[in-house]
A and B are shown apart, each in its own frame.
Chain A
Amino acid sequence: MSLRVMIVEDSPVARMMLGDMLQSRGHQVVAEVETLEQAVDAYRAQKPDLITLDLSLGRQDGLTVLKAIRGIDAKAKVLVISGNAQKNIHALLMSSGASGFLTKPYSISELDSAIAQASAL
């Protein structure tokens, strides 16, 4: 199934690699943003099927973005993609409404599985 995806990621390298993987799987990248403010604006404008969210975003952390987006739409599907694999952070994100978690670095098949799981919730 093709999804409309918004990427929240401050690393241009990670953003491009993820965007390329998503498009190679037939998904449409509808927005690529780096900050909380951009994420909120883009979410309201695009209403994507899925958001991929990094946790290290310069001035803000991804948890703040997750809570802001879930505050706008409690049904928003957010897949966290991060190098931060701490058990307590994982639990905190899931209890805050994340739909899934994928640890960097990841393969395209791991991305496929994570998207399928997150978008099915």
Chain B
Amino acid sequence: MNLTKSAQEALRRLIESGVGRSADKLAVMSHTRWSMQTVSVNTAAGDHLRSSTGNDAQGYYGAYFNMPGGVFLVLFSQRSGKVIIDAFLSDSPSGMKAIPNLEQSVLAEISNVLVNAVAAEFADACDMGFFVSAPEMLQGSKERLFELTLKKFSGTDKNLAVTSYVHMSSPSVSTDCSLLILLTEAMAGRLVEAIDA
């Protein structure tokens, strides 16, 4: 898909607006301020994504979601994930610790709120309404989680039009998380058309 520089910039601003809402919600859930570090939008599809992981071999938690015309992957390094989980659970009921797979359940719930804030920005921009799937939790290196996400995206990445990568951090607790968004050509086109209108 050929997106002009101005269309890419408009899409970047839309995603930034949605992520801004996500950061506000994350702040409420983790009791600390969050800010966006980077929001990138690329049309170079999967190859760009594969080459962006570098030598990062540390373990990550991933929360995968799909929606009509796109998928989301929320990434927490294991270290950051534990910090966010501790913050989230700081004022939780005492019985919470007995929940099986508590870490993954907490990150799934946090990711669900984050992703829905961005999805709402997309839906409202082009006057759509849709449901985002329930989270599917994954674990592995960043490279492996990117590969899994690309595979899940309609089976292949041939329809992939736009990839966006967002990095957020909370300096006060020295932690961070990332959001990967993949959009089909149809969805990216609809969003750009709506933004331009």
Chain A contact residue count (CB 8 A cutoff): 27
- Take A61-B131, A83-B112 as given contacts and tell me if A12 and B105 are in contact as well, using a CB distance cutoff of 8 Å: yes
- Residue numbers in A under 8 Å from B95 (CB-CB): 16, 20
Q: Is the CB of B124 within 8 A of A56?
A: no
- Main SS class of interface, B: helix
Which of the segments A42-50, A71-79, A87-95, A112-120 contacts the partner chain?
A87-95
- Take A85-B117, A86-B119, A105-B113 as given contacts and tell me if A56 and B134 are in contact as well, using a CB distance cutoff of 8 Å: yes
Bound-state Cα–Cα, A89 to B67, Å: 14
- Take A10-B134, A82-B116, A85-B120 as given contacts and tell me if A92 and B25 are in contact as well, using a CB distance cutoff of 8 Å: no
Q: Is the CB of A13 within 8 A of B134?
A: no
Give residues in A with beta carbon < 8 Å to B. Answer: 10-14, 16-17, 20, 55-58, 61-63, 82-89, 91-92, 104-105
Q: A11-B109, A84-B119 are in contact. List 17 more A-B contacts (CB 8 A).
A: A12-B105, A14-B109, A16-B99, A20-B93, A20-B95, A56-B132, A82-B116, A83-B112, A83-B113, A84-B116, A85-B116, A85-B120, A86-B120, A88-B123, A92-B129, A104-B116, A105-B28
